[in-house]
Each structure stands twice: as C-alpha cells, then as structure tokens.
C-alpha cells in the first residue's frame, strides 16, 4: 500500500479515498483480513500497526478515533470537549469516555446529526480556538477547558482546569480570553466560576475535588502546597492543604501513597512530628471525599476545635 495514501486525519484512510486510489471494496476487505488495515470507524481505516500502537496511549487512541469521525464527516469539524481534553492529556473526572466522542462544527457547516457514539456540538470556532494535536484538529487547551466547564459539573470543570494550569498548557489569561469570546453561550457563567476557582497548585484530581468539597461544606479556603514545621524542628514537610489560622493540615491520600511500606512509615513519622510541633493533621482518601465529603469536613472542623483548645 502506497504511503501517499496517508491522509491529513492522523493516519486515517477512508473507503472513498481508497476507492479513488484504485482499491476496490473486495481489496479493502482482503487487506483488512490480512492485517494490513484496521477498521477504526465505519468507512475509516488505519494501518494496523498504527492502530495497535495507540492501544496503550489514551490520547493517541482518542485522536485516532476522532480523526476517523472527522475524515468521513464534516470537514470543518474539530474534536472538542472531553475528547479534546483526553487528546491534550488533561485530567477528566471519571473514566475517560471510550465509546462516545465529542466534535464541534461551526453553524451552517453540517447537518448537526452525529453518528452513533458521536456527540455533535454546533458552535463558533474562531481561529484562535483551534489547534492540531496528535495529528488531528481539536479545540485549544483553553477552549477545551471552557467547553468542559460549560457542559459538565462544576467539579468536573475544576478537575480539568486545574490539570491544564498545573501542566502549564494554558493560563488564567487565556481562559479569560476564551470566556470573553463566548460570553453569551450556554453555561458560560459556570465556566467563569471554574476559571476563577481553578488553581494549578492542585497536584491531582483528588486535590481538585477536595477543594470543591471544602467550599461546598463551608470550610475556609486552605493554602495549597505549603511547607510547614516548628520553631525547633524546622521545616517538617509540605502540606497538601493548610489552614494557617487553625494550625490544621489536610492530606489527600491517593491510591499509591501507601503501597510502599517504607513510605507509609515515613508518613507516620512525619505526622507525629507535625503534631508534636502543634499542628492537627487530617487525612482523607478519594472514596471519602467523593462519597462522604460531609464527614471529611466534620473531621477538619473537629481538628480546628482541637487546635483552638490548645
């Protein structure tokens, strides 16, 4: 198969393009059976080696699948929303969508009808809102964050926005510029709130969700990633969350935090040193902050009271 068939859609070849290059439907089927071509979507194929290479890379796999939709659909469309977030390597709340893709095309450039498994959005796509990532046209990181914030929950928007800021893939100024371009769009008020609340110092989706939960349950906003210690001991460690007025530290315990026994022992010693220096320390997990945030908030308030009693 000639390399000149490699298209502009991230390595996707369409049935129409293959036919135009002289490959009959029977030949296409034979190449598929022989493992030369791999079907990616209806009427869209990729070299089998390319398709296999994306299997362990969520961003590359999503790019290939979005490209397969764009190659056989509206030429002006781009990958957007959660699909663009995955292609850009941003965090999304919950499992990455594997069956449903998101694309956006400008008004008047398509029917608006999507294929099965494709959610089509119709919205303006200014030049500054579109880029190429993974070989496929997608919304820029800033536009992607704003779209996710508009179309998802506040918590989901914060997870993606914090991730983008943390990785240096966008800035608050870029988010505000996109919001100004989309100022009358549905969901833009929530996008403004997400942009204002977002903070690149949140080091994980767990920490982002925790910050939202703290606000939802009336806790004061903590300082993030603060080095703390005592007058005698000096710097003891860095706190995920620090309520300075209440001498209380919050620690978000991810799934891998204690898989290493030596690390677990070091954490216990660190906590003991912090408490000896006069700090309260509250740990919580993903399960606790997601499914029982009020209980986590109650533990933190109890720590505030203990600190005040001292």
Query: Is there a single domain that holds both residue 148 and residue 173?
Result: yes
List the structure tokens of 112: 């608006």
Tell me the pTM.
0.89
Number of independent structural domains in the chain? 3
Three-class secondary structure of residue 32 per DSSP: helix
Domain boundary among 181, 199, 217: 199
Measure the CA–CA gap between 45 and 68, rounded to whole angstroms: 8
Query: Is there a single domain that holds both residue 70 and residue 186?
Result: yes
SS (H, E, C) 107-166: CCCCCCCCCCCEEEEECCCCHHHEEEECCEEEECHHHHHHHHHHHCCHHHHHHHHHHHHH
Domain boundary among 149, 173, 199: 199
Domain boundary among 38, 53, 68: 53
Tell me how far CA of residue 305 lies from CA of 73, 247, 272, 280, 299, in angstroms.
60, 10, 19, 10, 10
- Pick the closest to residue 181 from 236, 229, 126, 140 (CA basis): 126
Query: Is there a single domain that holds both residue 31 and residue 115?
Result: no
Reading the chain (310 residues) residue by residue, the pLDDT tens digits are 444 444 445 678 889 888 988 999 999 999 999 999 999 888 888 888 888 888 889 999 999 999 999 988 777 899 999 999 999 999 999 876 667 899 999 998 765 556 778 899 999 999 899 999 988 999 999 999 999 999 999 999 999 999 999 999 999 999 999 999 999 999 999 999 999 999 999 999 999 999 999 999 999 999 999 999 877 768 889 999 999 999 999 999 876 666 677 777 788 899 999 999 999 999 999 999 999 999 999 999 999 999 998 7
Query: Is there a single domain that holds both residue 75 and residue 170?
Result: yes
Full domain range(s) for residue 28 = 3-53
Query: Is there a single domain that holds both residue 216 and residue 191?
Result: no
Query: Is there a single domain that holds both residue 80 and residue 128?
Result: yes
Query: Is there a single domain that holds both residue 62 and residue 195?
Result: yes
- Pick the closest to residue 84 from 172, 149, 176, 13 (CA basis): 149
Measure the CA–CA gap between 215 and 107, rounded to whole angstroms: 38
Query: Is there a single domain that holds both residue 152 and residue 250?
Result: no
Q: Could you give phi then psi for residue 176, rounded to 5 degrees?
A: -65, -35
Residues 6+ apart with CB under 8 A from 241: 207, 210, 211, 214, 222, 223, 224, 249, 250, 251, 252
Query: Is there a single domain that holds both residue 71 and residue 174?
Result: yes
Query: Is there a single domain that holds both residue 121 and residue 253?
Result: no
Query: Is there a single domain that holds both residue 13 and residue 39?
Result: yes
- Pick the closest to residue 300 from 292, 236, 226 (CA basis): 292
Query: Is there a single domain that holds both residue 69 and residue 190?
Result: yes
Give CA 244 to chain center in angstroms. 30
Three-class secondary structure of residue 97 per DSSP: coil
């Amino acid at each position: 198969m000639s390399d000149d068939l490699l298209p502009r859609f991230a390595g996707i070849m369409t049935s129409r393009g293959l036919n135009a290059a002289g490959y009959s439907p029977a030949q296409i089927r034979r190449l598929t059976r022989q493992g030369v071509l791999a079907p990616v979507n209806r009427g869209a194929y990729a070299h089998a080696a390319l398709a296999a290479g994306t299997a362990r890379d969520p961003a590359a796999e999503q790019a290939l699948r979005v490209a397969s939709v764009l190659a056989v659909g509206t030429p002006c469309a781009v990958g957007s929303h959660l699909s663009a977030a995955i292609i850009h390597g941003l965090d999304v709340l919950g499992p990455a969508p594997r069956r449903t893709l998101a694309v956006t095309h400008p008004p008047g450039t398509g029917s608006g009808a999507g294929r099965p498994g494709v959610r089509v959005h119709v919205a303006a796509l200014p030049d500054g809102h579109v880029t190429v990532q993974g070989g496929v046209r997608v919304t820029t990181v800033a536009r992607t964050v704003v779209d996710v914030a508009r179309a998802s929950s506040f918590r989901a928007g914060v997870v993606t926005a914090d991730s983008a800021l943390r990785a240096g893939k966008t800035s608050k100024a870029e988010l505000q510029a996109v919001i100004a371009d989309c100022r009358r769009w549905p969901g833009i008020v929530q996008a403004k709130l997400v942009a204002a609340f977002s903070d690149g110092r949140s080091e994980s989706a767990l920490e982002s969700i925790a910050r939202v939960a703290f606000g939802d349950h009336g806790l004061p906003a903590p300082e993030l990633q603060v080095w703390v210690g005592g007058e005698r001991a000096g710097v003891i460690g860095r706190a995920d969350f620090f309520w300075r007025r209440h001498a209380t530290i919050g620690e978000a315990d991810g799934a891998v935090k204690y898989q290493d026994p030596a690390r677990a022992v070091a954490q216990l010693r660190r906590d003991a040193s912090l408490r000896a220096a006069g700090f309260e320390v509250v740990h919580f997990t993903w399960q606790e902050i997601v499914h029982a945030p009020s209980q986590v908030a109650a533990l933190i308030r109890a720590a505030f009271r203990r600190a005040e009693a001292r």
